[in-house]
Amino acid sequence: MKQGIHPDYKEVKVICACGEVFTTRSTLDEIRVDICSKCHPFFTGKQKIVDAEGRVEKFKKKYERKKKES
């Protein structure tokens, strides 16, 4: 391998939106995720709506208007 061209591969903290924190190795300084194995529906068996950029609220508003118009 050539020297000096590879990024620094170090231990970093992974922080989930649910509050879970664990460590892994990466070239990044810190990793933030929305869903981890502690809160993912596949592992927990619970339904969870992940609202990415307000899309769920936008959908609800759109179809509330249509119900009122009908």
Assign residue 42 the CATH number of its domain: 4.10.80.400
4-63 confidence digits (pLDDT tens): 898 889 999 999 988 899 999 999 999 999 888 888 777 777 776 666 677 778 888 888
Contact predicate 21/11, CB 8 Å = no
- Domain hosting 29: range is 10-69
Q: Please give the pLDDT value at position 50.
A: 65
Contact predicate 16/38, CB 8 Å = yes
Residue entry with tokens 């061209």: 5
Task: Measure the CA–CA gap between 1 and 21, rounded to whole angstroms.
Answer: 34
Domains: count for the chain: 1
* Any domain includes 4: no
